[in-house]
Amino acid sequence: MDKIDLSKQLAFLWKASAKKPAMVDVPPMNFLMADGAGNPDTADAFQQSIEALYSLAYTMKFTIKKGRGIDFRVLPIEGLWWADSPEAFVAGRKDEWQWTLMIVQPDVVTPADVEAAREAVRARRPVPALDRVRFERFAEGRAAQILHVGPYAGERPTLERLHAFIRDEGGEPAGKHHEIYLSDPRRTAPERLRTILRQPVRPSGGA
Protein backbone atom coordinates (compact mmCIF):
# COMPACT_ATOMS: atom_id res chain seq x y z
CA MET A 1 0.00 0.00 0.00
CA ASP A 2 1.29 3.46 -0.93
CA LYS A 3 1.65 5.88 1.98
CA ILE A 4 1.67 9.66 1.58
CA ASP A 5 2.82 11.95 4.37
CA LEU A 6 3.32 15.51 3.18
CA SER A 7 4.72 16.50 6.57
CA LYS A 8 7.69 14.25 5.78
CA GLN A 9 7.93 14.92 2.05
CA LEU A 10 7.81 18.69 2.68
CA ALA A 11 9.08 18.61 6.27
CA PHE A 12 10.33 22.21 6.21
CA LEU A 13 6.70 23.42 6.07
CA TRP A 14 5.72 21.70 9.32
CA LYS A 15 8.95 22.26 11.25
CA ALA A 16 10.11 25.59 12.57
CA SER A 17 12.47 26.90 15.23
CA ALA A 18 11.24 28.84 18.23
CA LYS A 19 14.65 30.52 18.44
CA LYS A 20 15.21 31.75 14.91
CA PRO A 21 12.77 32.61 12.10
CA ALA A 22 13.47 31.22 8.63
CA MET A 23 12.44 31.87 5.06
CA VAL A 24 10.62 29.10 3.19
CA ASP A 25 9.26 28.69 -0.32
CA VAL A 26 5.80 27.19 -0.08
CA PRO A 27 4.70 25.28 -3.20
CA PRO A 28 1.12 25.42 -4.49
CA MET A 29 -1.00 22.81 -2.71
CA ASN A 30 -4.63 21.73 -2.58
CA PHE A 31 -6.69 22.43 0.53
CA LEU A 32 -10.09 21.89 2.04
CA MET A 33 -11.10 25.41 3.13
CA ALA A 34 -13.88 27.01 5.16
CA ASP A 35 -14.31 30.77 5.61
CA GLY A 36 -15.73 32.63 8.55
CA ALA A 37 -15.63 35.76 10.66
CA GLY A 38 -15.84 36.76 14.30
CA ASN A 39 -14.30 35.80 17.60
CA PRO A 40 -12.88 32.26 17.28
CA ASP A 41 -13.39 31.73 21.02
CA THR A 42 -17.15 32.20 20.80
CA ALA A 43 -18.28 31.92 17.16
CA ASP A 44 -20.18 28.69 16.52
CA ALA A 45 -19.01 28.81 12.90
CA PHE A 46 -15.39 28.37 13.99
CA GLN A 47 -15.84 25.01 15.73
CA GLN A 48 -18.37 23.92 13.11
CA SER A 49 -15.80 24.59 10.38
CA ILE A 50 -13.19 22.48 12.19
CA GLU A 51 -15.72 19.66 12.50
CA ALA A 52 -16.61 19.83 8.80
CA LEU A 53 -12.98 19.92 7.65
CA TYR A 54 -11.95 16.92 9.72
CA SER A 55 -15.10 14.98 8.78
CA LEU A 56 -14.35 15.38 5.09
CA ALA A 57 -10.61 14.79 5.43
CA TYR A 58 -10.94 11.53 7.37
CA THR A 59 -13.78 10.27 5.18
CA MET A 60 -11.60 10.75 2.11
CA LYS A 61 -8.60 9.17 3.81
CA PHE A 62 -10.46 5.94 4.56
CA THR A 63 -12.38 5.87 1.26
CA ILE A 64 -9.23 6.31 -0.85
CA LYS A 65 -7.32 3.80 1.28
CA LYS A 66 -10.03 1.19 0.75
CA GLY A 67 -10.79 1.94 -2.88
CA ARG A 68 -7.36 2.77 -4.31
CA GLY A 69 -4.89 1.32 -1.84
CA ILE A 70 -3.40 4.74 -1.07
CA ASP A 71 -3.11 5.86 2.53
CA PHE A 72 -2.31 9.43 3.54
CA ARG A 73 -1.86 11.27 6.78
CA VAL A 74 -4.48 13.85 7.75
CA LEU A 75 -2.45 16.91 8.67
CA PRO A 76 -3.23 19.62 11.25
CA ILE A 77 -5.70 22.44 10.85
CA GLU A 78 -4.23 25.68 9.51
CA GLY A 79 -5.68 29.17 9.57
CA LEU A 80 -5.40 32.33 7.50
CA TRP A 81 -6.25 35.47 9.48
CA TRP A 82 -6.95 39.07 8.53
CA ALA A 83 -9.15 42.08 9.32
CA ASP A 84 -10.32 45.13 7.44
CA SER A 85 -8.34 47.20 9.96
CA PRO A 86 -4.87 45.88 10.91
CA GLU A 87 -5.35 47.51 14.31
CA ALA A 88 -8.04 44.93 15.06
CA PHE A 89 -5.27 42.39 15.67
CA VAL A 90 -3.07 44.68 17.73
CA ALA A 91 -6.02 45.75 19.88
CA GLY A 92 -7.39 42.20 20.15
CA ARG A 93 -10.76 43.12 18.68
CA LYS A 94 -11.59 39.52 17.85
CA ASP A 95 -15.13 40.24 16.70
CA GLU A 96 -13.58 41.99 13.66
CA TRP A 97 -11.34 39.10 12.71
CA GLN A 98 -11.86 37.13 9.50
CA TRP A 99 -10.45 33.69 8.92
CA THR A 100 -10.09 30.72 6.61
CA LEU A 101 -9.55 27.35 8.25
CA MET A 102 -8.02 24.66 6.07
CA ILE A 103 -6.35 21.25 5.79
CA VAL A 104 -3.83 20.48 3.05
CA GLN A 105 -4.63 17.53 0.77
CA PRO A 106 -2.28 15.34 -1.28
CA ASP A 107 -2.55 15.47 -5.04
CA VAL A 108 -4.31 12.09 -5.14
CA VAL A 109 -7.44 13.81 -3.79
CA THR A 110 -9.73 15.04 -6.58
CA PRO A 111 -12.80 17.30 -6.63
CA ALA A 112 -14.88 14.15 -7.20
CA ASP A 113 -13.41 12.62 -4.03
CA VAL A 114 -14.43 15.71 -2.07
CA GLU A 115 -18.02 15.62 -3.32
CA ALA A 116 -18.32 11.88 -2.70
CA ALA A 117 -17.02 12.39 0.84
CA ARG A 118 -19.44 15.26 1.38
CA GLU A 119 -22.37 13.03 0.47
CA ALA A 120 -21.05 10.21 2.68
CA VAL A 121 -20.73 12.54 5.67
CA ARG A 122 -24.18 14.00 5.01
CA ALA A 123 -25.68 10.52 5.00
CA ARG A 124 -24.17 9.70 8.41
CA ARG A 125 -25.03 12.74 10.50
CA PRO A 126 -25.70 16.48 10.40
CA VAL A 127 -22.55 18.60 10.05
CA PRO A 128 -23.68 22.25 9.97
CA ALA A 129 -20.70 23.69 8.08
CA LEU A 130 -20.37 20.84 5.58
CA ASP A 131 -21.56 22.83 2.57
CA ARG A 132 -19.26 25.75 3.41
CA VAL A 133 -16.15 23.68 2.75
CA ARG A 134 -14.54 24.12 -0.65
CA PHE A 135 -11.61 22.45 -2.41
CA GLU A 136 -9.07 24.95 -3.68
CA ARG A 137 -5.44 25.27 -4.75
CA PHE A 138 -3.51 27.80 -2.69
CA ALA A 139 -0.17 29.28 -3.77
CA GLU A 140 1.56 31.05 -0.88
CA GLY A 141 5.09 31.36 -2.25
CA ARG A 142 7.90 33.01 -0.29
CA ALA A 143 7.21 33.31 3.42
CA ALA A 144 8.88 33.66 6.81
CA GLN A 145 7.94 31.39 9.69
CA ILE A 146 8.72 30.77 13.36
CA LEU A 147 7.46 28.38 16.04
CA HIS A 148 5.43 29.88 18.87
CA VAL A 149 5.25 27.85 22.08
CA GLY A 150 2.52 28.93 24.46
CA PRO A 151 -1.07 30.21 24.44
CA TYR A 152 -2.52 31.79 21.33
CA ALA A 153 -3.13 35.01 23.25
CA GLY A 154 0.63 35.30 23.88
CA GLU A 155 1.68 35.27 20.22
CA ARG A 156 2.39 39.00 19.91
CA PRO A 157 6.09 38.98 20.96
CA THR A 158 6.75 36.04 18.61
CA LEU A 159 5.00 37.86 15.78
CA GLU A 160 7.07 40.97 16.45
CA ARG A 161 10.24 38.87 16.14
CA LEU A 162 8.96 37.40 12.89
CA HIS A 163 8.18 40.81 11.40
CA ALA A 164 11.55 42.19 12.53
CA PHE A 165 13.23 39.26 10.75
CA ILE A 166 11.28 40.03 7.57
CA ARG A 167 12.45 43.65 7.68
CA ASP A 168 16.04 42.59 8.33
CA GLU A 169 15.86 40.36 5.26
CA GLY A 170 14.79 43.30 3.12
CA GLY A 171 11.16 42.28 2.88
CA GLU A 172 7.71 43.30 4.02
CA PRO A 173 4.54 41.36 4.84
CA ALA A 174 2.36 40.42 1.87
CA GLY A 175 -0.85 38.46 2.20
CA LYS A 176 -2.67 36.97 5.15
CA HIS A 177 -1.18 35.90 8.46
CA HIS A 178 -0.96 32.10 8.51
CA GLU A 179 -0.97 29.76 11.52
CA ILE A 180 -0.44 25.99 11.61
CA TYR A 181 -1.78 24.33 14.76
CA LEU A 182 0.56 21.49 15.67
CA SER A 183 -1.13 20.85 19.04
CA ASP A 184 -4.68 19.90 19.95
CA PRO A 185 -5.86 22.63 22.39
CA ARG A 186 -8.36 20.18 23.91
CA ARG A 187 -5.52 17.93 25.08
CA THR A 188 -2.59 20.30 25.50
CA ALA A 189 -1.93 22.79 28.30
CA PRO A 190 -1.88 26.38 26.98
CA GLU A 191 1.78 26.87 27.88
CA ARG A 192 2.73 23.81 25.78
CA LEU A 193 0.77 24.65 22.62
CA ARG A 194 2.96 24.63 19.50
CA THR A 195 1.92 26.85 16.59
CA ILE A 196 3.85 27.75 13.45
CA LEU A 197 3.37 31.42 12.61
CA ARG A 198 3.92 32.12 8.92
CA GLN A 199 3.83 35.39 7.00
CA PRO A 200 4.08 35.67 3.20
CA VAL A 201 6.65 38.25 2.17
CA ARG A 202 7.66 40.38 -0.78
CA PRO A 203 10.69 42.62 -1.36
CA SER A 204 10.40 45.89 0.55
CA GLY A 205 8.60 48.45 -1.57
CA GLY A 206 7.29 45.74 -3.91
CA ALA A 207 3.84 45.76 -5.47
Q: What is the pLDDT along the chain (207 residues), one digit of tens a residue?
A: 789 999 999 999 999 999 999 999 999 999 999 999 999 988 899 999 999 999 999 999 999 999 999 999 999 999 999 988 777 776 778 898 999 999 999 999 999 999 999 999 999 999 999 999 999 999 999 999 999 999 999 999 999 999 999 999 999 999 999 999 999 998 999 999 999 999 999 998 765
Burial class from Cβ neighbours inside 10 Å (0-12, 13-18, 19+) for residue 134 reads middle
Identify residue 124 by its one-letter amino acid code.
R
Q: What is the pLDDT of residue 87?
A: 72
How many structural domains is the chain composed of?
A: 1
Q: What is the pLDDT of residue 206?
A: 60
Q: What is the pLDDT of residue 93?
A: 85
Q: What is the pLDDT of residue 92?
A: 76
Backbone angles phi, psi at 92, to 5 degrees: 70, 30
CATH of the domain at 74: 3.20.80.10
Nearest to 79 by CA among 19, 114, 37: 37
Type and span of the H or E element at 8: helix 6-9
Q: What is the pLDDT of residue 136?
A: 98
* Domain range for 83: 2-203
Q: What is the pLDDT of residue 157?
A: 94
